[in-house]
Amino acid sequence: MDFCQLWLTCKDTVEADKIAAFLLDKRLIACAKKVPAKSKYHWQGKIEQSSEVILVMDSKTESFDEIEAEVTKLHSYDTFVLQAVPIVKISKEAEKWLENTC
């Protein structure tokens, strides 16, 4: 089974909590961590900056499409960035936990 870390930028902690709780409840992710971030990005011809929250989630790679569909319903951004980073190696106990949780 292939596992990944999913990275999703959210507008604030409230949105990150809502998305994480929903995905955890549906067992699409095993864990979610929130990291505050100061972001700079191109948007509509200008360079913008804002305070955001990065949601880092552990999941199965095969769940990406379903997670993306659910995030589309819950996220406030018209264009959100959801990225999957493959997990190349993982400790045995963590692997068992991910297999049993997702």
Q: How far is 13 from 19, CA to CA, in rounded Å? A: 10
Tokens of 9: 């930028």
Q: What tens digit of pLDDT does each residue of 34-63 get?
A: 999 999 999 999 999 999 999 999 999 999
Angle at CA of residue 100, ends 82 and 27, nearest 5°: 45
Domain ranges of the chain: 3-101
3-101 domain in CATH 3.50.50.60? no
Q: Which residues of the chain have pLDDT under 50?
A: none
Q: How far is 30 from 9, CA to CA, in rounded Å? A: 18
What value does the mean pLDDT of the chain take?
A: 96
